[in-house]
A and B are shown apart, each in its own frame.
Chain A
Amino acid sequence: MLLKHTTPKEIDRKALTINPAKTCQPVGAMYAALGLHGCLPHSHGSQGCCSYHRSALTRHFKEPVMAATSSFTEGASVFGGSANLIQSINTIFTVYNPEVIAVHTTCLSETIGDDMTAIISKAKDDGFIPEGKKVIFCNTPSYIGTHVTGYANQVTSFVKNFSTSTLKKKNVVNLVAGWMEPSDMREIKRLAKEMEARTILFPDFTDVLDAPMDGKFHMYPAGGTTIEEMTATGDSKFTIGMGPYSTEDACIALENKCKVKFDMVDIPIGLKATDRFLMSLSRHANVPVPDSITADRGRLVDLMADSATNLYGRRVALWGDPDTLIPLCEFLVSMDMRPVYVVSGTSGKLFDVRMKEILKDIPEAKFKSGERADMFLMHQWIKQEGVDLLIGNTYGKYIARDEDTPFVRFGFPIADRSGHNYLPKTGYNGAAHLTTQILNALLDHQDRTCPEEKVEFQL
């Protein structure tokens, strides 16, 4: 038993997080920055932070993840990190030559109180920022919020630094991507193209974190939202934010800065969330949903109907980020499954409100977000009464093994399986893929563990 220390009885904890269902802001900021073309993320702190975030992202995507660090020393912690950042900016433009450096702070640089605006403007005055290049920053203190907050802050920083209104509105809809996989974005872009909607997606990880292998190392892969596109978002006629936790701040900033109104939808995971996304895009881009997409939907519903008896009443435990958990739980409920335990280290009222609504017909459901909403709590709940399925990141594998429960990997990080950045979970096709994964996990387990006389050719 890997987690032999977990007891069914919930211990009363006042001050501890055990086996977290979250991580810190900077990794989210680093991730989001990779979705801007020609951008080098820069971690303003000790070099360990940068190393950890790069490792975490590398393990998840199995792709090179480039980022620089201010490499704080004892001196920097006493006198401030100004000299380190200025030297960094100089080094980066001299050697790595990106279009943009996206600086994010860390707990250390925040605690010692580095004034980022002042430092960057000094670097500019000293001539370290070449003509046409840009250094942007966002504050991501690790002791506030989670990795999701860091992601949201970086995306908002894109808007603040680039989005520009020329007062000539274009027939374009901005799509602000919440924390999702490159595969999910590729599917969303495909849907938009099929609808003939003109869109700008940001950030965009396609061809960055799912880059094809061509025998060369590309410091800046081909993908990512370009600076021109990011600038043009200020002239778009509308914005659709996908996932309020990771994109609402950016949408608000864009509305304030460039008067682009927005609609907030969930990340299109599952049938209903995809319906809502497509309706919003159809309305605001003023394009109909083509038959081809309606047919995708029909195929999904067909699969759901065929699978209904195998999914009915199955108890599911989930953990991860609010923006994915909300539509995911809604989808499970649409399939007559029972999401009974839901945990997110990222707190917020919205999560509680939405979960309450989605889980209203499942009285036994428990959910918790924020402090001490961790994997240890989740495991204690499972020990009290087991579940049929686990859905979440790789950190669930210990529970899956100890409790012999089928497990579908979803979220960040997934360090022990491949394919999440290639095969989408968004849109109707993504939902079909997800449904298949769930079915396979449940039925594989059933075939392996049921009495021999119950093994059947047809299920």
Chain B
Amino acid sequence: MASYILTERQKQVARSGLETGQMVCNKPSVAGSVSQRACVFCGSRVVLYPIADALHLIHGPIGCAAYTWDIRGAMSSGPELHRMSFSTDLSEKEVVFGGEPKLKVGLVELIDKYQPKAAFVYSTCIVGIIGDDVEKICRQIAEEKQIPVIPVQAPGFQGSKKDGYKVACEALFQLTGTLNLPVPQYSINILGDFNLAGELWILMDYYQRMGVHINATITGDGRVDAIRNAHNSALNVVQCSGSMIHLAKMMKEKYGTPFMHVSYFGIEDMSDALYEVAKFFKSEELMSKAREIVKEEISRLMPAMQWYREQLEGKKAAIYVGGAFKAISLIKALRLIGMKTVIVGSQTGNADDYEVIKKLSDEDTIIVDDSNPVELSNFVKEKQADVFIGGVKERPIAHKIGIGFCDHNHERKEALAGYEGMMNFAKEIHATVMSPVWKFTK
């Protein structure tokens, strides 16, 4: 194994078709590594963030609030309260004497001023250590103000971002089942889409054209009351392997709401997402409408994509994203535009995900869990990738090596979901891979 891979990490790197045996994953990052991963707080914050009519108060020193202020383009069709940054801004005094009084006063001030539908109170690293009883305060204020005030227990050290997703799901689960409003027959909740660049609205349009009613969107363009009423939907449609599955499972257990996994990236996966919902409702009408939509969209998309495919044929891509489910969709989407994936990595994939990736990938594709810049840049060099698909910290690394980059994370500016998302994806990859700038680097 190459010298730039930490000894402890060697089983977290594999090559498809060449190595058997299960990949090791779900491990905390090796202390001292330049990990690309984040923490529990980060995971819970990104998941709950798009709920636009809730108050999000971060209990801790200023940093955690500052770094998560308006961090992702999770669009709202109405309120924008989620884009504000609220912090108890703990100082030394509170670290010594406790932050409870400050939290209490702050919560009351905010609820009085903004009249939110609910409040989420995030506990950061030191809150537990200094002994603040956040749950008690949340209970008291909820009683006093008559709105749900939900503690989000998210000290960073309790794990990685993925563990934070679970914490967020538990917070959401406290909301579900607290409101009962009638919903139409074919009602679903969309879980795990965060409406980056308005992607949710694209999906909603397809489902609505099919005749499916979207009850709660969790959490993209999210609203507190819809989440409270989510248990009345017939089905949870879950995107993204990590972030929302825990909520779906809990809702199944408590309310009997079934769930299914889908992905909205690429033509195949998007079409399946529509067909599966029609199948679930056992409705011929929904199915034929779904077929109609797919036919219509594909017949529009394919000719437009042909030119891009010709240009990009044979180009090579490296993928390093948060969730493995997204990586799987990306491999398929890249194939659709004639490209080959030579490196696939994720921050939070599990063993099953990596097995799927191995099967899906061409021989000798590098598959990696929780990677770091040194590994990634060496992999890219070895495999001669033409484009890197990743998040904020990978962009300048790709550019320095002299290859293209596509943000498939919080900073994406164009919708990449659905059929029009596929078109955007092809354009974006084309723009970066074929940019004349790379000619000047060598």
Give the residue of A11, A27, A143 whose beta carbon is less than 8 angstroms from that of B94.
A143
Q: Given A16-B89, A23-B66, A77-B155, are A143 and B126 neighbors across the interface (CB < 8 Å)?
A: yes
Give complex CA distance A51, B37 in Å: 6
Do residues A17 and B62 form an inter-chain contact, with CB atoms below 8 A?
yes
Residue B393 lies at the interface, judged by CB distance under 8 Å to chain A? yes
| Bound complex: CA A265 to CA B207 (Å) | 63
Q: How far is the CA of A68 from the CA of B374 in the complex (A)?
A: 12
B17 interfacial contact with A, CB 8 Å = no
Does B83 count as interface, using CB distance less than 8 angstroms? yes
A106 to B35 Cα, complex, angstroms: 17
Whether A20 contacts B402 by the Cβ 8 Å rule is no
Name the residue of chain A whose CB is nearest to the CB of B437: A213
CA–CA, A72 and B156, complex, Å: 8
Complex alpha-carbon distance, A434 and B65, angstroms: 31
Instruction: Work out how many contacts link A and B, with CB atoms closer than 8 A.
Output: 257
With A84-B31, A91-B33 in contact, do A20 and B62 touch (Cβ < 8 Å)? yes
- Asked if residues A395 and B69 are in contact (CB atoms below 8 Å), the reply is yes
B349 at the interface (CB under 8 A from A): no
Q: Contact between B125 and A46 (Cβ–Cβ < 8 Å)? A: yes
User: Would A50 and B400 be within 8 Å (CB), given that A24-B61, A213-B441 are in contact?
Assistant: no
| B83-A2 in contact (CB<8A) | yes
Determine if A272 is an interface residue (Cβ-Cβ < 8 Å).
no
Q: A64 CA to B377 CA in the complex, in Å?
A: 12
- Given contacts A52-B63, A88-B32, A108-B126, A371 and B89 within 8 Å (CB-CB): yes
Interface hits, A209-231 → B, CB 8 Å: 211, 213-219
Instruction: Let me know if B62 and A146 touch, CB within 8 A.
Output: yes
Q: Which of B295-328 contact A (CB under 8 A)?
A: none
Contact in complex: A15, B91 (CB < 8 Å): no
CA distance A142 to B106 in the complex (A): 20
A87 touches B90 (CB 8 A): no
Query: Bound complex: CA of A214 vs CA of B155, how far in Å?
Result: 41
Residues on B with beta carbons closer than 8 Å to the beta carbon of A65: 393, 396
Cα A27 to Cα B63 in complex, Å, equals 9
Chain A residues within 8 Å of B29, by CB = 47, 69, 71
| A23 with B393: CB separation less than 8 A | no
List residues 5-43 of chain A with CB under 8 A from any CB of chain B.
Answer: 5, 11, 13-20, 22-27, 40, 42
Cβ of B110 within 8 Å of any chain A Cβ, yes or no, is yes
Which residue of A is nearest B129, CB measured? Answer: A111
B60 an interface residue at 8 Å Cβ cutoff?
Answer: yes
Whether B110 contacts A20 by the Cβ 8 Å rule is no
Among the listed A22, A54, A85, which residue makes an inter-chain contact with B393, where contact means beta carbons less than 8 Å apart?
A54
Indicate if A62 sits at the interface (CB-CB under 8 A).
yes
The answer to the question of A95 belonging to the interface, with a C-beta cut-off of 8 Å to chain B, is yes
Q: Determine whether the beta carbon of A51 is less than 8 Å from that of B85.
A: no
CB closest chain-B residue, reference A112: B129
Q: A15-B88, A49-B39, A214-B441 are in contact. Are A24 and B66 (CB under 8 A)?
A: yes
B95 at the binding interface (Cβ < 8 Å): yes
The CA of A22 and the CA of B155, in the complex, are separated in Å by 22
Interface residues of B in 1-42 (CB under 8 A from A): 4, 6, 28-42
Given A45-B125, A108-B129, A142-B62, answer yes or no on A55-B67 (Cβ-Cβ < 8 Å).
yes
The yes or no answer to A405 lying at the interface (CB within 8 A) is no
Cβ-closest chain B residue relative to A221: B400
Question: Any chain B CB within 8 A of the CB of A302?
Answer: no
Query: In the complex the two chains form, is A71's CB within 8 Å of B28's CB?
Result: yes
Q: Are B400 and A213 in contact (CB under 8 A)?
A: yes
Residues of B within 8 A of A345 (CB): 62
Interface positions of A from 105 to 154, Cβ below 8 Å from B: 106-108, 111-112, 141-144, 146
Within the complex, which residue of A45, A59, A63, A218 is in contact with B156, where a contact is CB–CB below 8 Å? A45
A201 at the interface (CB under 8 A from B): no
Q: How far is the CA of A121 from the CA of B103 in the complex (A)?
A: 39
**CB atoms of A24 and B63 under 8 A apart:** yes
Q: Is the pair A19, B160 in contact by a Cβ cutoff of 8 Å?
A: no
B392, closest chain A residue (CB): A55
Q: How many residues of chain A get a CB closer than 8 Å to chain B's CBs?
A: 85
Q: Are A111 and B39 in contact (CB under 8 A)?
A: no
- The answer to whether B393 and A143 touch across the interface, beta carbons within 8 angstroms, is no
Q: Is the CB of A111 within 8 A of B106?
A: no
B62 touches A76 (CB 8 A): no
- Using A19-B69, A64-B400 as known contacts, say yes or no to A144 and B158 having CB atoms under 8 A apart: no
Residues of chain A contacted by B41 (CB below 8 angstroms) = 46, 48
Given A108-B129, A371-B89, A24 and B37 contact (CB-CB distance below 8 Å): no
Contact of B65 with A46 in the complex, beta carbons under 8 Å? no
Q: Check B63–A16 contact: CB distance below 8 A.
A: no
CA distance A356 to B4 in the complex (A): 56
CA distance A87 to B41 in the complex (A): 24
Q: Which of A22, A42, A51 has the most B CB atoms < 10 Å from its CB?
A: A51
With CB as the reference atom, state the residue of chain A lying closest to B376.
A217
Residue-by-residue, is A373-413 near B (CB-CB < 8 Å gives 1, otherwise 0)? 00010000000000000000001001000000000000000
* Inter-chain contacts of B86 with A (CB < 8 A): 16-18
Q: Check A64 against B32 for contact (C-beta < 8 Å).
A: no
- Residues on B with beta carbons closer than 8 Å to the beta carbon of A217: 373, 377, 397, 400-401
B396 touches A64 (CB 8 A): yes
B255 interface contact, C-beta 8 A: no
In angstroms, Cα B41 to Cα A50, docked, is 13
The 8 Å CB contact of B4, one of A59, A76, A91, A95, is: A95
> With A5-B81, A64-B373, A71-B30 as given contacts, are A59 and B62 in contact (CB-CB < 8 Å)?
no
Q: Which residue of B66, B90, B159 is within 8 Å of A20 (Cβ)?
A: B66
A365 on the B face (CB < 8 A): no
The 8 A CB mask of B169-197 against A (1 = contact, 0 = none) is: 00000000000000000000000000000
Measured between C-beta atoms, what is the minimum distance from B398 to chain A in Å?
9
* Given A71-B35, A108-B156, also A20-B87 (CB < 8 A): yes
**Could you tell me if B399 and A213 are in contact, using CB atoms closer than 8 angstroms?**
yes
Whether the pair A143, B92 counts as a contact (CB closer than 8 A) is yes
Residue B279 is within 8 A (CB to CB) of chain A in the complex: no
B287 nearest CB across to chain A (Å): 42
Chain B residues near A398: list those with CB within 8 A: 83
B32 x A49 contact (CB < 8 A) = no
Known: A71-B28, A90-B32, A218-B400. A49 touches B84 (CB 8 A): no
Nearest CB of chain B from residue A60's CB, rounded to whole Å: 11
Return chain A residues, CB-CB under 8 Å to B110: 16
CB–CB B38/A52 < 8 A: yes
CA distance A51 to B347 in the complex (A): 12
Per-residue CB contact flags for chain A residues 62-96 toward chain B (1 = under 8 Å, else 0) read: 11111111111110110000001101111110111
Which of B34, B85, B160 sits near A67, CB closer than 8 Å? B34
- Expressed in whole angstroms, the Cα–Cα distance for A240 and B193 within the complex equals 53
User: Chain B residue with minimal CB distance to A218?
Assistant: B400
* Cα–Cα distance between A55 and B399 once the two chains are bound (Å): 16
Which B residues touch A211, using CB under 8 A? 400
Residue from A22, A46, A89, A144 in contact with B92 in the complex, judged by beta carbons closer than 8 Å:
A144
Instruction: Out of A62, A107, A146, name the residue touching B60 (CB < 8 Å).
Output: A107
Q: Are A58 and B396 also in contact (CB < 8 A) when A74-B157, A92-B32 are?
A: yes
- What are 20 pairs between A and B in contact, CB < 8 Å? A5-B81, A11-B109, A17-B62, A20-B65, A20-B69, A20-B85, A24-B64, A47-B38, A51-B37, A55-B392, A58-B396, A73-B158, A74-B157, A74-B158, A77-B125, A88-B32, A95-B33, A107-B60, A107-B95, A219-B373
Which residues of B are interface residues toward A (Cβ below 8 A)?
Answer: 4, 6, 28-42, 60-69, 80-81, 83-92, 94-95, 101-103, 105-106, 109-110, 113-114, 124-126, 128-130, 155-161, 373-374, 377, 392-393, 395-397, 399-402, 441-442
The 8 closest A-B CB pairs, nearest first, are A48-B39, A24-B63, A91-B32, A88-B32, A46-B156, A142-B61, A23-B66, A52-B67
What residues of chain A have their CB less than 8 Å away from a CB belonging to chain B?
2-5, 11, 13-20, 22-27, 40, 42, 45-56, 58-59, 61-74, 76-77, 84-85, 87-92, 94-96, 106-108, 111-112, 141-144, 146, 211, 213-219, 345, 371, 376, 395, 398
- 15 additional A-B pairs beyond A24-B66, A64-B373, beta carbons within 8 Å, are A13-B109, A17-B86, A22-B62, A24-B64, A46-B155, A47-B38, A55-B392, A58-B393, A61-B396, A77-B125, A91-B30, A95-B32, A108-B125, A111-B130, A143-B95
